[in-house]
């Protein structure tokens, strides 16, 4: 069974390229373009891993991460924050809220895939 990945980003170009990359790597993919949709998709799609942007409409990635970690059904989901916000305080906040990894944009697709595979075992 292939792993399921939820891509959460409000930037269409990033969504398209990540979706292509993840499908090419053999993952099942779902997409959400704002924080509220991300939480609905997380419940419906039951992803193994979420690629989560921080700056989004409706709910920020930080709020989504916190909500996911508070939901007993979703606590095992791996979360990689994927964002342009790379200051140490933001990285620390993301990890403190329960993200498993924090990658800043622009990022190497090879490094991202390696990180995903490492987290999914």
Structure-block tokens of residue 119? 């987290």
Question: Which of 79, 73, 61, 87 is closest to 116 using CA atoms?
Answer: 79
Cβ-Cβ contacts under 8 Å for 91 (sequence gap 6 or more) = 102
pLDDT tens over the chain, length 121 residues: 689 999 999 999 999 999 999 999 999 999 999 999 999 999 999 999 999 999 999 999 999 999 999 999 998 999 999 988 778 898 899 999 999 999 998 889 999 999 999 999 8
Q: How far apart, in whole angstroms, are the C-alpha atoms of residue 84 and residue 121? A: 26
| 0.75 exceeded by pTM | yes
Question: Which of 110, 59, 101 is closest to 82 using CA atoms?
Answer: 101
Q: How far apart, in whole angstroms, are the C-alpha atoms of residue 43 and residue 64? A: 12
Q: How far apart, in whole angstroms, are the C-alpha atoms of residue 77 and residue 65? A: 10
Structure-block tokens of residue 113? 């895939």
Contact 79, 98 (CB under 8 A): yes
Domains in the chain: ranges and CATH: 4-120 (3.40.50.2300)
Question: Which of 11, 19, 3 is closest to 109 using CA atoms?
Answer: 19
């Amino acid at each position: 069974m292939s792993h399921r990945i939820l891509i959460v980003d409000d930037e269409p170009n990033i969504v398209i390229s990540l979706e292509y990359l993840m499908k090419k790597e053999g993952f099942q993919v779902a997409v959400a373009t704002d924080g509220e949709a991300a939480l609905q998709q997380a419940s419906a799609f039951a992803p193994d891993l979420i690629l989560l942007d921080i700056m989004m409409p409706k709910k920020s990635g930080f709020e989504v991460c916190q909500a996911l970690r508070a939901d007993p059904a979703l606590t095992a989901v791996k979360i990689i924050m994927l964002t342009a916000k790379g200051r140490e305080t933001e990285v620390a906040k993301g990890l403190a809220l329960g993200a498993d990894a924090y990658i800043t944009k622009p990022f190497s697709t090879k490094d991202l895939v390696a990180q995903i595979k490492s987290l999914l075992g």
